[in-house]
Structure 1
Amino acid sequence: MSVKLRLGLPKGSLQESTFQLFKRAGFNISVRSRSYYPSIDDPEIEVVLMRAQEIPRYVNEGVLDAGLSGLDWILENEADVVEVADLAYSKQTTNPIRVVMAVAENSGIKTVKDLEGKRIATELVRLTRSYLAKNGVTASVEFSYGATEVKVPQLVDAIVDITETGSSLRANKLVVIDTILVSTTRLHANHKAWADPFKKEKLQNLAVLLLGALRADSKVGLKMNLPKDKLDDILAILPAMKHPTVSQLINSDWLALEVVLDEKQVRDLIPALRRGGAQDIIEYPLNKVIP
């Protein structure tokens, strides 16, 4: 029986963005609607879908060799795991998520100290209790099974919740009084798997490809041709700290130039490059950027 890396991937809100990230990294994952065991086009990997909240616990206990879950859930599970890679993506953006303490707009609660003796609802019970203890505050912390934002102020005085954009908090007339943790998705492994040469190399290779796909997010390549005497003008137009590849066109006084840029810069750069003498400008997407 061949050895496989058993990898836990998050089911639910992170699932689609995770599958897209793996696709850009070169892995195709497909799953039937009710299946928890997707197929992946790598015979050395076995994928298990489960809630991100549970993945670090199963990795820590050795049920999974490795998994993708947020730092918040690794800390909440008090999981003793090896961090393989910090993958800065979430369900909507490539920005970190925040674990925040939030209260009703008109509650009069301004700081964590004002929560002494109050009631707090959260999915992150251990993380919340640890935060309160560090601040010398005694409060009742209860587990929330969902819809946490709507419990303030009728049922609880405050919540600790995960936010990516803050829109849900604002919609429920809540304000953030403190950020407890800034969290990103982590590829993490248990110590036994990390000590296995095959699984360690497999994880390291996976990390290189996933990080390369993330670096390519919001970046594009530009190719163009230009006369030799326009090179300095074109280099002056390109953003500082960029090092384009410049090559000589055969039997010509023209050069070919290629550079990788942030996609948001290109809209303004292309007309400027055209005015500066560049021709045959080609913009193309990137799948991976490996430094």
Structure 2
Amino acid sequence: MPTKNKLRLGIPGRALRGQTIELLQKAGYSVSVSASGHKITLDDPEIECFFSKTQELAELTQAGMLDACITHKARLLEQNIKAKEISQLNYGNGTWHITRVVLSAPVDSKIKSVKDLNGQEVFSRLPNLTKKFLVDQGIKAKVTKVGFPGEAKGEMFNKPLVDFTNTGRTLAEHNMKIIAELMTTLPCLVMNPVSYQDAWKRQKTENLALLLNSARLAMDMVGLMMHVENGLMPEVLKVLPAMKKPTVTQLRGENLFDVLTVVDRKEARELVPQLKKIGCTNIVEFPLEKVII
């Protein structure tokens, strides 16, 4: 069983692996992956990491072999996993976009909607969720479990498929068209119920969630700093986002203010030219490490 002063943490492999490692690094951890790619180490002696598929991580966490893990919300529902959710994490399979669980069908098939699945065989990476979805839709169909990669199997065997997707691009490459969305799913940081009762492990996991979420939020935001003359302040404050009140400091002995604010990264490309046109000087845009709201 896990020792009291060490958190055994499951890290997802495959599609979630790259984003999870990058997010851990942005959260302040030094991450080392073995040459074989099967072992991951953090520079925190209180965290012991274990690489595996999200499906297996959920099972190991429920069984108490791991204190906590990062797995897909859809996996928890599919496997009816009993675990304590600490936080959802805002990224997806191989991208920073939210992942969807979708039903697709071969482009050249006669399947145009869910109702066309009556009497069909449906391939699925998530058979339990698929069966429930079909029952809720009043559809009688055979559901066959398939492994990764599902898109290739759907195309090869000319079968409708339920699988994960972010952009739908891979499905399109395999001549599959999306006909319905079952759910959206995000990675979740969860704990097994026994470890959750351990105050030290719970706090350690909650701290990890805070760092990961603040690092993820910082990726979408930037800081803006500028000098603004007193007479220009009303106009500057009017164009800055209302929900992100800036810090304004008057420079000693001058009719200038130092204005510091945080904005969405995409907003900055529109704001900076506006601020320059208004008359702001010494405008500096800088990246953020963590944003905690």
TM-score, structure 2 length as denominator? 0.94
2:5 corresponds to:
3
1:281 corresponds to:
283
Distance 1:287 1:126, change over 3 A: same
Q: Any stretches of 5+ residues in structure 1 without a counterpart?
A: none
For 2:45 and 2:204, the matched residues in 1 are separated by 12
2:199 corresponds to:
197
Post-superposition offset of 1:156: 4.7
2:150 corresponds to:
148
2:223 corresponds to:
221
Instruction: Describe the SS at the equivalent of 2:15.
Output: coil
Post-superposition offset of 1:227: 1.2
The aligned length equals 291
Indicate conservation of the 8 Å contact 1:120/1:156, yes or no.
Answer: no
1:49 corresponds to:
51
Indicate conservation of the 8 Å contact 2:8/2:68, yes or no.
Answer: yes
Correspondence list, 1:115-130, <5 A: 115-130=117-132
Post-superposition offset of 1:151: 3.3
| Alpha-carbon displacement from aligned partner over 1:99-157 (angstroms, at most 9, x marks no partner) | 11111223222332321221111221222122222223222211213332233465253
Identical counterparts, % of pairs = 34
For 1:154 and 1:38, the matched residues in 2 are separated by 35
2:29 corresponds to:
27
Which stretch shifts more, 142-151 or 8-17?
142-151
Instruction: Describe the SS at the equivalent of 1:53.
Output: helix
Instruction: Describe the SS at the equivalent of 1:271.
Output: helix
Instruction: Describe the SS at the equivalent of 2:64.
Output: coil
Indicate conservation of the 8 Å contact 1:119/1:156, yes or no.
Answer: no
1:111 corresponds to:
113
Which runs of at least 4 in structure 1 moved beyond 6 Å after TM superposition? none
For 1:232 and 1:93, the matched residues in 2 are separated by 40
For 1:136 and 1:237, the matched residues in 2 are separated by 52
Which stretch shifts more, 134-143 or 165-174?
134-143
2:174 corresponds to:
172
1:161 corresponds to:
163
1:79 corresponds to:
81
Indicate conservation of the 8 Å contact 2:226/2:282, yes or no.
Answer: yes
| Alpha-carbon displacement from aligned partner over 1:176-212 (angstroms, at most 9, x marks no partner) | 1211111001001110011000001111111111111
